[in-house]
Amino acid sequence: MRKLSHACVATEELLREHLFGPDRRRRALVAEEGGVVGYAIFSRRFRRSWRGRGFFLEDLYVRPAQRRKGIGKALLRHIARLAMTRGYGRVEWSVLDWNVPSIEFYKSLGAVALDEWTMMRLTGEPLERFAGP
Q: Which residues are catalytic?
A: 106
Nearest to 30 by CA among 68, 6, 59: 59
| Structure letter (DSSP) for residue 133 | -
Q: What's the angle, vertex CA 95, arms to CA 90 and CA 100, rounded to 5?
A: 120
Residue 113 CA to residue 94 CA, distance in Å, equals 9
